[in-house]
Structures are given as structure tokens and as C-alpha cells.
Amino acid sequence: MFRLDDKVAVITGGGSGIGKAIALLFAKQGAQVHILELSHEQANSTIEEINQMEGVAYAHACDVSNHAAVKNTFEQIGAINILVNNAGIAHIGKADTTSETDFDKIMLVNVKGVYNCISASIPQLRKKGGGSIINMASIAAWVGIADRFAYSTAKGAIMAMTLSVAKDYLSEHIRCNSISPARVHTPFVDGFIEKNYPDQQAEVFEKLSQSQPIGRMGKPEEVAALALFLASEEAAFITGSDYPIDGGFIKLNN
């Protein structure tokens, strides 16, 4: 079960964190993996690990916010079965403390970047007679997160975009679902804590962990396992759905 043999998967932001975990697992399960990152260097560690497991992987230097570059990259890759829109950036701020520049940057990467990849992937998915698109949303789309105005707004857009794509391409056998993680322990989290709380790293890490009712952050590998299911043939009856993977954050935090 959950094999991806003979499948071609594109994963944006596959060089680290959740994207890397997804790329490694998809390759392990037999997929040919294409990683889109800003530079080849950012994808190299993932590519090397996949090569060590005798998997097949390719890196593509591509800014997902650049429509022409994304279209060209997908045309170079050719026919695909799976797209995982994982690339994104974070931002801290409320509506009145978020600058126009920062707001535009979040929308450019986290919303337009997803649109660019979906738009470019549809012709390539058609060549395979359909496939699976997985968008990375967030619990922020469900409940909003304090001091995350632009980020929460963008993730809400991703959830709506997922529903729209799922409905528009039903007849073409293109499924579209989203995943909404709570806090996941990635190098980004460690870097954020180290930069902003250099003298309180252990305390802040514990506070962030305890914000999930289950008492810890998620693991990238746990999100990857959910993505694998949604990409697999075992999930062929699932489209237009969002899957929180949140340690009880949405339902139990009251």
C-alpha cells in the first residue's frame, strides 16, 4: 500500500523541513521526485539523501513567485502525477504592524506561488490522465494565529483555492486536497527561537510545544506520511478536503 511506483512528483520547497521529509518519503515509496527550490544548493542535501537510497530525484532552481519561470520549469519536467505545494514563508505582525511590502511578499510567495504551480501543473497532469495536487495550508486558516495576520490570510486563501481546484477538475480526475499542520519542529523553528530568544531557547521551545494539546510539536515525517496517503491511489476517493494534523490544536484548545 501507499506505493508511488512509476509516479512523477513535483515538490516545492523540498530542500528542508516538511518539504524535505515529503521528498524523501515519496522517493522511498518509488516516485521520481522533482524538487523546486530557489537554488540547486538548497535542494542538494535532499537530492544526495535520495541518491543514497537509490531513488531518483532532480533539483530545479525556480522562484515559485515568478509565473514565467514556473511555467518553463514544469514544461521542462513534462508529464507528472503529483504536485505538492509546500514552499512558503512566514511573517509576524498584526494588520496595523504589517507593512505593505511584507504583505505583498507573503501574498506573492504563499498565494501566487501556489497559483503559479497549479496553473503550470494542470497541462502536465492531463498528460497522465489526472493526478493529485496537495497544498500546504495551516491551522491558521481555521482559527487565525495571533500576530500572524498576513500568514493567516494567505493560508485561508490556500484552503479556498483547494476547494476551487478540486471542483473545477473533477471530470479530469485531478484531485486537490490540503494539509493544515500546527507547529512542526523544523530547522526554521530552531532558527526562529535562536534569533529572537537567544537567552530563553529551552523555555520558548517548551512553550511552543505545549501550545499543542498533545504536548509537543509535530514531526516533518508525520506530515509527510499524510501527504503520501493523499498522493496515493488509496486516497482516490478523496478530493476537496483539508486535513488538520495539529495535535488537537483546533478542536481541543478551548
- How much is the pLDDT for 209? 96
List the catalytic residue out of 115, 151, 169, 243: 151
CA distances from 70 to 56, 88, 181 (A): 21, 15, 25
The three-class DSSP label of residue 251 is helix
Instruction: Find where cell 506505493 sits.
Output: 3
Residue ranges of domains in the chain, CATH in brackets: 8-183+219-252 (3.40.50.720)
Q: Is the distance from CB of 165 to CB of 118 less than 8 angstroms?
A: yes
- How much is the pLDDT for 254? 64
- How much is the pLDDT for 253? 84
In SS3 terms, 155-204 reads as HHHHHHHHHHHHHHCHHHCEEEEEEEECCECCHHHHHHHHHHCCCCHHHH
CA distances from 238 to 62, 78, 133, 146 (A): 30, 25, 11, 31
pTM of the model: 0.96
Residues of the chain scoring pLDDT < 50: none
Tell me if residue 151 is catalytic: yes
